[in-house]
Structure formats: C-alpha cells, structure tokens
Copies of this chain bind each other. A is one copy, B any other.
Amino acid sequence: MEKYESYDAYLAALEKRGQLPEGFKTAVLPLSFFPEERKLINPLPMNMSLIMLDKPTTRFAGIFTSNRCPGSPVLIGRERLKSKQIRGILINNKIANVCMKTGVEDSISLLETLAESAGGKVEEYFPCSTGIIGWRLPIKAMKAVIPKLVSSLEGGTGVKLAKGIMTTDAFPKLRSIKVGKGRIVAVAKGAGMIEPNMATMLSYILTDISMGKSFLQKCLKRVADQTYNCISVDSDQSTSDSVILLSSGCKPAVEEDVFEAALLKLCTELAEDIVRNAEGSGHVIKVEVTGAQNDALAKAVGKAVINSPLVTTAIFGNDPNVGRLVSCVGDFMGINNLTFDKDQMSIWLGKELVFDKGSFCIDRRKEEKLSKYMKERSFDSDHKSYPEHNLTVDVLYKLSEKGKGHAVVKGTDLSYAYVKENADYRS
C-alpha cells in the first residue's frame, strides 16, 4: 500500500517518477499582476504554464467536456484537433474563460503572442484556462509574461508543471509509466470537493512513443471512459474539463494494445489521485457494479451511488446505512423508468454481504464491524497537502446473475469540508 509520511516524501516520489519524456520542455511563471477580484477568492497567485515540444508533432489527441456551456479554450481546443501539427499548450489557473463576450478572441490573442515568441502559427497551440467563472482574463498582464515564459522553458521533471496548474488542489498529481523504449508522463489538476468554483479536470499526457494520431484519439477516448469519466467528486461536470495527449515521436512505436494497456494503468492511477486529492472529504469510495445489462448502465448505476448525498454523507459518518445503498439504486432505476428486479440484487460493503437477493441481511454485530471498516479507511478530514494512504471504502453491487455489464466508479464522501469550502470560500 502506498503511504507518504509528509509532503516532502510525496514530492520526492513525484520527482523520482516525473522525468519528462524526450522531446518536451515546460515552463511555469506566476503572473506579476493580480486582478482586484483575486483578493475575494484565495491567496494563491495566477500561474501561467507552458508545455512545448522541441519539434512540432502530428501525433496528438484531445477530449473535452460534454458540458453545453463550454469554456472558450474548449471551443478552440476542439478546432485544434483538426490542425496538421501541434507545438504546445498554454495554460493558466485562477480564472477560467467561460461564456465571456470576448472569450474566444482573448484566448486567441494569448496564442498570437505565444506564436510570436515561440514560433509557429496560432493553430499549433492549445489554450487552457481553469478557475473562477464569470470574470475576464487579465489579458494584458498575461501577454506581457509570455515571452519570459518561453525563454524559461526547460527539461527535467513535470513536477513544477503539476504544481503550476493547481487551483485549490491539495497536492500536485503526476504519474508515469515505461513503455517500450520510452515513457508516458501525465499531470492533472482537479480539486472537486474543495474547488471553490468548478471541479475542472485538466490532464496533460506526454509521451515520446511515436503512435499514430488516429490511434491516439481512439485510444485516449477508450481509456478516458474507463478512468477520468468514471470518477465523480461532485455530480457537476465542469465547463472546462480537458485531456490533451502529445507524442514527441522521439521513440519507436510499440504494439497498440501495449500502449493502450500502459495508458489505462497510468490514467487509472491519475484519476484516483484526482479523487484522493479531495481529502477535505473523509473517504475515497470505490463502487464496483457487476451483472448490469451493459457497461454503460453499470457505470450509470455506480455514479448514481457515488452522487447520492444520502450515501456519501453516511459514509463520511462511518455509518453502514445500507438502506441508502439500496434506495439510491431503486431511485435511479425508477427515475429512468428501467425495469429492475431487486430480488436479483446483492450488495457487499467491504467484504460483508449486506443485501442478499432482495433482502437486507445486517445485524448489530455486522453494523459495528462495518463502521470500524469505514473508520479505518477515513482520512484526517483536514485538507492535507499529500495523500495519507490509498485505502478505499469498497462497495460491490451484483445487479443480476446473467448481466455482463461491469464498471468501477470512484468518488468521495460528502463532508463538512465540502460544504464549508464551497459555501464559505468567497465570503
């Protein structure tokens, strides 16, 4: 079991695993100018971060939020997927760029400045913004920083990038894996539970393995559906969620299934880091659903459980409130008008059978045992700067004997800290 005794120990682990793949450089600079409003929000500075390829690449992929009120960078990013080649990604935290009259032109003008100092065309860069919604980016100040940002590009590890893109994240998130003669390194931000505005999930996946563009896009979609799209820290999907994958092509290709397996492992770990990040919460919850008619239904049921305030508050309180585990599934089936036979359903909490083919099977002894099980898996409810451990509260649903649908969904409990951070952060 992974365990870190301190933030320094955690950072050391990231440095160890964080070496950038061949062909990439990054830079991070704090913004010298802060908008007045910033003071209302929180004391962290705005960072501008830059990911650059040594040479433009034709090997890239991206997936973006399905939110119908997407940020301007998302609108531009979708366009970029049609570009012939990509040179880099420009990222800022603190203020998102969502539904502003000048949103698209603002992002474009930043890329224009970037292209001037780093070379290439505007179409060869992805823009990304995350943070407060409803305010305009401090464009003038941001443009002023860009040349310095370009001149400070360097290799090394991705740790400063992982730190630079954080908003109210508890700790930086970076994972890496060896594949063939090269590697995949990925960073992510996404605070969720304690993000004061949006649980924006940004992830940048860098590799030197030279896989083809069309494969990368399909592969990234399949992997994201099993990882980033199987986590929920609150039911809201952000306006800016983006995952961008770049390959420098510096290392020989590997078998497609080998690359996909490696990417799946990497993103599974990173997705769990995103959930675990929300340690304002008390537990990480892993809901496995089997016996569904199909995988999509299994995932939807898992999300219904993870997003049930009654379930997640009970788990926060270490309360084996099995009634809620049953009711939220019945609720989901009913609301979606799906036929469902509860007498085929069994539920395990931890390894304990609590609902046996349509009927509860719990007693005081089992309740006490389960309460202890949950306590052992709880976090210090403070918003720690590193993950204490990687334990999860495991819930297993078997919806039927014959269904082949399967999914694993991860999320967090609903804690005081969630409400407090989300209610008080600006007041």
Contact = CB atoms under 8 A, between A and B. Distances in A.
Given A236-B308, A309-B235, A416-B419, A69 B327 contact: yes
Interface string A297-328: 00000000001111001101111011110111
A355 interface: yes
A100 interface: yes
Which of A68, A70, A236, A323 has the most chain B CB atoms inside 10 A of its CB?
A68
Given A418-B313, A422-B310, A426-B319, A360 B235 contact: no
A215 to B, nearest CB: 26
Interface in A55-113: 65-70, 96, 98-101
A234 interface: yes
A359 interface: yes
Question: What number of copies of this chain does the assembly contain?
Answer: 2
B334 A65 contact: yes
Interface stretch (A204-212, A262-270, A335-343): A335-343
Contacts of A65: 334
Interface hub of A70, A99, A314, A420 (most chain B Cβ within 10 A): A99
The contact size tier of chain A is 35 or more
Nearest to A342: B69
Nearest to A239: B327
A339 B90 CA distance: 30
B236 A360 contact: no
Contacts of A424: 317
B307 A235 contact: yes
A271 interface: no
A324 B68 contact: no
Given A197-B310, A309-B309, 14 more contacts: A65-B334, A66-B335, A69-B327, A69-B330, A99-B342, A132-B323, A133-B324, A134-B323, A134-B360, A235-B309, A237-B327, A317-B426, A319-B427, A419-B419
7 cross-chain pairs, A with B, having the tightest CB-CB distances, nearest first: A133-B323, A317-B423, A69-B330, A66-B334, A313-B422, A68-B333, A68-B330
